[in-house]
Structure 1
Amino acid sequence: MIKNPLFVVIATIVCIVAGFFMKSSYIEIFASVMGVLNVWLLARQKVINFLFGAITVASFMYIYFQTGLYAMVVLSFVQLLFNIFGWYYWVKNKGEEDVAPTTRLSTQGIITWSAIIIVATAIWSFLQLKYTNATSPYLDALVAVMGLVGQYLLSKKILENWYIWIGMNAILLVVCATTGLYVMFILNLINLFICIDGLREWKQDLNTNKQDTPSIEGLENA
């Protein structure tokens, strides 16, 4: 069902109707629709997802600034850069395929990136508590760090990016509910289901290719 373009049409209508019903801003509704298109195209491994991704994060940058989620403003800016890089990387390394091949992290890579997320979140939370009036400093920092790592892994077409997006969307449901971003709450709920489907589809694609793809060792090659 999620693979069917009709899912995107329905999800878009839901975001628009919910946005007007809840009297959300036009920019929030627009960002939500672009976000659904971005994640759905990403799950289908379409390079054009990066265009919608760039539009989405630029819109979110403005929204997060207005609501005091400053770490996520920085996240959105860096994600914008990663969308540009990801577009270049996917096309440059596609070989004979439509896009670059999917790879996986090694155990060492998983441990390394997990440690980076934990340490960076602790530092970012401390800085926000000390120097800003962020409304949700801990969740804000965690989501920001997860978003940066997830976007980097996505740009390199590494399968494990989906696990990070799934966790991030689950956390964002809490952030959006507590900050009154109700249309974005619906967006993240929809994206959560798309991310789960994207993980499944990328895994299937990786298994059915029947080609030896090298594991990525640690931070240097990730």
Structure 2
Amino acid sequence: MELMKKFTSYTCSPIFVVVACAICLLVGFSINSSIIEIFASVMGIINVWLLSREKVSNFIFGIITVVAYLYIYYNTGLYALAVLACFQVGFNIFGWYYWVKNSDQEDNVVTSGLTKKGQILWTIIILAAWAVWGYVEINILHAQNAILDSLTAVLGLVAQYWLSKKLYENWILWILSNILFIIIYILNGYYVMLILVAIQLILSISGLLEWYASFKEQGENKLTL
């Protein structure tokens, strides 16, 4: 327990996000990565850090980040992830509205969790969507890394929706998604974005611990959809 407190304390510090951004910039320029890749990586770190801190302003950086990713994915044939980025822009706008609408005077939004029914329902939705999207990618789009690409896209869409509803389980999907992104980025040679995902994985674990603690403290409010 003490180790977890130290972990979340460190990752929640502004020093962590400054160091993480500096690492992305240093590595990005040293290996001659594209400006858009470096920019997306830095914006992504700030976005996830603000999100783990439960700040409404995370949605501003989220929109900037996914627009940059949309450009990258489209130009490299990762079509499912490009579609994911389009949806994520919409979910970021919806999440921004939902958080502002449901926040209290201190800009706090109640953290919720899924009911058992919700967990089963969403598991079925994720598996069904993965099967359909994977089929389209393999047989129609002939996309690269279709199986991983489609699963990552589905997890990302559901996670983004859960995030907008402030369900703490969104972090579980982001953790799984980040692990898959590590594999995809290694296969495609996106080394700066690989560093970003590694940092986001750390922040996602921190976010899960922080949000779950808030969920417990706020009375364990539960939703199905």
TM-score by length of 1: 0.95
State which of 156, 162, 166 in structure 1 corresponds to 2:171: 162
For the aligned residues, what is the CA RMSD? 1.0
State which of 61, 76, 85 in structure 2 corresponds to 1:76: 85
- 1:29-108 to structure 2, matched below 5 A, reads 29-108=38-117
* Residue 12 (1) aligns with residue 24 (2): no
Q: CA deviation at 1:155?
A: 0.3
Q: CA deviation at 1:67?
A: 1.1
Report the equivalent of 1:191. 200
- In structure 1, distance between residues paired with 2:85 and 2:129: 17
Deviant stretches of 4+, over 6 Å: none
Instruction: Determine if contact 1:92/1:100 at 8 Å carries over to the other structure.
Output: no
Instruction: Determine if contact 1:102/1:159 at 8 Å carries over to the other structure.
Output: yes
- In structure 2, distance between residues paired with 1:72 and 1:86: 20
Instruction: Determine if contact 1:89/1:100 at 8 Å carries over to the other structure.
Output: no
Report the equivalent of 2:223. 216
- In structure 2, distance between residues paired with 1:136 and 1:21: 28
Secondary structure of 1:80's partner? Answer: helix
- Specify every segment of 5 or more residues in structure 2 that has no aligned partner in the other structure, as ranges: 1-9
Report the equivalent of 1:146. 155
Decide which moves more: 91-100 or 38-47. 91-100
- Specify every segment of 5 or more residues in structure 1 that has no aligned partner in the other structure, as ranges: none
- In structure 2, distance between residues paired with 1:148 and 1:76: 9
Amino acid in structure 2 at the alignment position of 1:215: K
Give a deviation string over 1:119-146, Cα, whole Å, max 9, x none: 1111111111111131110100000000
Instruction: Determine if contact 1:71/1:140 at 8 Å carries over to the other structure.
Output: yes
State which of 19, 23, 32 in structure 1 corresponds to 2:32: 23
State which of 114, 127, 130 in structure 1 corresponds to 2:123: 114
Q: CA deviation at 1:207?
A: 2.2
Q: Tell me which protein shows more helix as a share of its residues.
A: 2
Instruction: Determine if contact 2:215/2:221 at 8 Å carries over to the other structure.
Output: no
Report the equivalent of 1:126. 135
Report the equivalent of 2:4. none
Secondary structure of 1:200's partner? Answer: helix
